[in-house]
């Protein structure tokens, strides 16, 4: 059997995991906390401070040769106007690297908190189509294509999304900044800007 096919067999996978270890899974550790799927936790006891915690990455797998890589701990997500609700905010905690007889696994990364901001928070021309918005402010073609892909139809709906959400969907910093600029220009033209 060729070596390239060996890894696709049950024995091949067992040999791989035994020699190199399995990578840790990104996971949320919520002991003593109430949390959501993003790995955020909030202490709920009345006499304790309100703490927003990031998730904990899983531990890398152990192996006879190289230990597995620890999982990443996701950071919490919070809007700046909600910062006053918490006495402490911590990022995520990376999982420990797995044990390896030759080389131990690398620990996972603890991610920072993400402070989410809506693209625009004031009144804006909610009924304007994306096509009219695109044409009026000469936006990049890729921006319009991406917004269509995510089923945005009006400027009002676009203003409700956050910069973090767009970034996670592959929008670049420049594209997000261009959208914020155009929304602010639209509001200023319509007399509703801040």
Task: Name the 3-class secondary structure at 176.
Answer: helix
* Reported pTM: 0.53
- Residue 113, Cβ neighbours under 10 Å: how many? 19
- pLDDT at position 191 is 67
Summarised one tens digit per residue, pLDDT across range 72-92 is 998 888 888 788 888 888 899
Domain extent listing, the chain: 1-115, 130-190
- Structure token pair of residue 178: 């261009």
d(CA 143, CA 118): 17
Query: Residues in the chain with pLDDT < 70?
Result: 1-48, 125-126, 191-194
């Amino acid at each position: 059997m060729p070596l390239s096919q060996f890894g696709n067999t049950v024995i091949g996978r067992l040999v791989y995991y035994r020699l190199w270890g399995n990578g840790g899974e990104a996971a949320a550790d919520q002991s003593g906390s109430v949390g959501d799927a993003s790995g955020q936790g909030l202490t709920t006891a009345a006499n304790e401070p309100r703490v927003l915690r990031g998730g904990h990455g899983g531990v890398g797998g152990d192996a006879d040769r190289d230990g597995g890589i620890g999982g990443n701990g996701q950071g919490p997500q919070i809007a700046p106007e909600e910062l006053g609700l918490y006495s402490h905010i911590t990022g995520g905690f990376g999982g420990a690297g797995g044990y390896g007889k030759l080389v131990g696994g690398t620990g996972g990364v603890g991610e920072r908190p993400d402070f989410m901001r809506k693209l625009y928070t004031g009144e804006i021309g909610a009924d304007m189509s994306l096509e009219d918005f695109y044409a009026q402010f000469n936006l990049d073609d890729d921006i319009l294509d991406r917004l269509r892909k995510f089923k945005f139809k009006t400027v009002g709906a676009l203003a409700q999304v956050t910069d973090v959400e767009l970034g996670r969907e592959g929008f670049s910093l420049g594209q997000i900044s261009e959208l914020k600029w155009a929304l602010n220009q639209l509001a200023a033209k319509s007399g509703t800007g801040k």
